Amino acid sequence: MTEKKKERINIHEYLAEMDDIPGTRVFTAQRARKGYHLNQFAMSLMKAENRERFLADEKAYLDEWNISEEAKQAVMDRDYNAMIDHGGNIYYLAKLFSTDKKSFQFAAGSMTGMSQEDYAKMMLEGGRSPEGQRSIKGKY
Amino acid sequence: MARVTTGITSSHIPALGAAVETGKSEDDYWGPVFKGYQAIRDWIKKPENMPDVVVLVYNDHASAFDQNIIPTFAIGCAEKFKPADEGWGPRPVPDVIGHPDLAWHIAQSLILDDFDMCIMNEMDVDHGCTIPLTMMFGEPEQWPCKVIPLPVNVVTYPPPSGARCYALGDSIRAAVESFPEDLNVHVWGTGGMSHQLQGPRAGLINKEFDLDFIDQLINDPEALSKKPHIDYLREAGSEGIELVMWLIMRGALPEKVRDLYNFYHIPASNTALGALILQPEETAGEPLEPRRVLSGGTFAQA
């Protein structure tokens, strides 16, 4: 018999920890399931003809997808935090802000509640400190 | 026989490509980044350092793979790979030319070594794969070496553990060394360093974590490989998890390595950037001068 693995990660503890980070939504299976159609919609924007069709009539394009009305509204509002709450993942949503000809810095900055200028300045000064940002429960 | 002579790490953020394409690589913002990479460019173009083949470890950013197929470890075995259209048209760079003989040899060897690889015969490669090539080789008509793309899932949780990545690197080295042709093979680990691209915590950078990570990667990779995912997430930001891919590179090198070059810069857009050249101690070349470069962010005032 082959050697059995001695230490296993407890999946429940593993997943619980993922929800203990301030201001962060880890793309767990639960979120991936919730956001499946939203993310696949974003993927469709990798084709130039789809980008054109989407930009010409966003609502009509979104109506072709099995996405909740709230999530559609989040897309039309370009509310990236709300899209992530609906199961979106930033690398998928990148197809949306690329369609808008916006950068990762623009999209990331838009989720912080800071102005683009303040966000860029914070990055230049060395970025956001992890102090107090590591754990909700532990407050460190 | 083929040998893994060198491990390299590099950032792969799209903004670096945009800086090259828009002629900003010498401005005040990007200048220090490209200056830091120039030393690697000068080093790698010497014939004795130029790889025949790069095993390029990166993560696909929802380009070749969507939510329908999520391979943990995949390997590109095709003759060539086209740059992906990620929403702004494909990057204007040459096709990536594969090495199907070596790629299939590695794929078979890895499976026999208990790594159940996903084999890709047709795959577009995104910025994760092509930005490191741009950073190393500039804007040539053709890339100067063959590339075996090795995408790792670090997007949909859970990604592979650090220990699994480290072990995969070791198996890649063994596979390369059993390939009969005499080839200079590099393994590149890309992505990182600390960064978070989402939510109110976006913009997180952790210089202390990053510099410790580099130190441990060089000197004690075995211990580093045991770092749990949650530590990366808490300390290095949600996208800092990409750093597990550096352990694949490190696993492909022996226990003792020499860092020929060690470059760290803050910020490149949303991220901290690290670029290293590592070689096995026994066959290591001379370190570059300067060997260590820290730039940007708070280093500017230091």
Average pLDDT of the residues of chain B: 96
pLDDT of residue A7: 83
Contacts of A107 (CB under 8 A, 6+ apart): A80, A90, A93, A94, A97, B197
Across the interface, do A46 and B87 touch by the CB < 8 Å criterion? yes
Segments of chain A assigned to CATH 1.10.700.10: 23-101
Three-state SS for B152-201 is ECCCCCCCCCHHHHHHHHHHHHHHHHCCCCCCEEEEEEECCCCCCCCCCC
User: Which pLDDT tens digit goes with each residue over A92-136?
Assistant: 999 999 999 999 999 999 999 999 999 999 999 999 999 999 999
Whether residue A140 has pLDDT greater than 80 = yes
Architecture of the CATH domain B3-299: 3-Layer(aba) Sandwich (3.40)
Q: Does B113 touch chain A (CB under 8 A)?
A: no
The ipTM value here is: 0.94
Please tell me the predicted confidence (pLDDT) of residue B19.
96
| CATH homologous superfamily, domain A23-101 | Dioxygenase LigAB, LigA subunit (1.10.700.10)
Residues 72-131 in A contacting B (C-alpha not used; CB under 8 Å): 80-81, 84, 89-92, 94-99, 101, 103-105, 107-109, 111-113, 119, 122-130
Strand B53-58 to strand B184-190: parallel, antiparallel, or no bridges (unpaired)?
parallel
Residue A27 at interface with chain B, using a CB cutoff of 8 Å: yes
Cβ(B33)–Cβ(B273) under 8 Å?
yes
Domain ranges of chain B: 3-299
A47 touches chain B (CB under 8 A): yes
For B158-195, the pLDDT digits (tens) are: 999 999 999 999 999 999 999 999 999 999 999 999 99
* pLDDT(B302) > 70: no
